[in-house]
């Protein structure tokens, strides 16, 4: 059995679910457009630049979850899936996931985006495992905080190792392992697998991939 890990935003998706979720809530009037849109855009630019303070961002991104009943959040997410997410799920990404699943690989999405936003997306792809930043809950309601280590930068290694440990495995258990990502923020985990793949990479990742002979591909339709 081989291990296959996928980043989600701008890798399997042709966009960023974290960013789009905030934009969706702004469009619904749930978040104040004047204040929140500027902050959302600023955090996204910091992420692309590699300067994002993940804890500051999570305070911003998870706070709205604590203000509304779970039933309302789930209803909004269903609408979000239909109008924002499914258009970002291209056929090449679906086909690549299917290829690895059909081969019997152990497949997971590893993403910094929180588990509430990403869980339904990952299930839509048919991927059985999700390693995401955990949106903490108490009695079925979100607290507005993250639980444990965010799955971001080197935190992805810690979270993947913990997940594999729960299965009685570790990264060295596999003859071959893949991690598909678009972002230089994922270089720590990409360097730990035998087959790192740069998917529609940002400038920094593209340069690193070229210098190290990594595979570069596109999943854009």
Catalytic residues, which ones?
A: 7, 9
DSSP letter for each residue of 59-103: HHHHGGGGGS-HHHHHHHHHHHIIIIIGGGB-HHHHHHHHHHHHT
Which one, of 126, 66, 65, lies nearest residue 96 by Cα?
A: 126
Place of tokens 């701008």: 10
Triad 81, 181, 113: Cα angle to 5°? 45
Residues of the chain by 3-state class (helix, strand, coil), percent to 5: 55, 20, 25
């Amino acid at each position: 059995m081989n291990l296959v890990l996928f980043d989600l935003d701008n890798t399997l998706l042709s966009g960023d679910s974290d960013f789009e979720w905030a934009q969706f809530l702004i469009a619904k009037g749930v978040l104040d457009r004047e204040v929140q849109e500027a902050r959302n855009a600023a955090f996204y630019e910091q992420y692309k630049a590699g300067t994002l303070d993940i804890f500051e961002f999570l305070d911003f991104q998870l706070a709205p979850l604590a203000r509304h009943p779970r039933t309302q959040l789930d209803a909004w997410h269903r609408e979000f899936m239909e109008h924002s997410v499914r258009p970002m799920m291209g056929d090449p990404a679906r086909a690549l996931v299917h290829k690895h699943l059909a081969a019997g690989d152990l497949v997971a999405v590893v993403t910094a985006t929180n588990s509430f936003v990403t869980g339904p997306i990952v299930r839509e792809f048919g991927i059985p495992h999700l390693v995401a930043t955990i949106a903490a809950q108490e009695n079925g309601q979100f607290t507005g905080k993250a639980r444990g280590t965010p799955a971001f930068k080197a935190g992805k290694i810690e979270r993947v190792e913990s997940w594999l440990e729960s299965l009685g495995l570790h990264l060295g258990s596999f003859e071959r392992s893949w991690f598909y990502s678009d972002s230089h923020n994922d270089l720590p985990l990409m360097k730990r697998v035998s087959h790192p793949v740069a998917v529609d990479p940002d400038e920094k990742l593209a340069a690193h991939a070229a210098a190290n002979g990594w595979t570069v591909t596109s999943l854009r339709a």
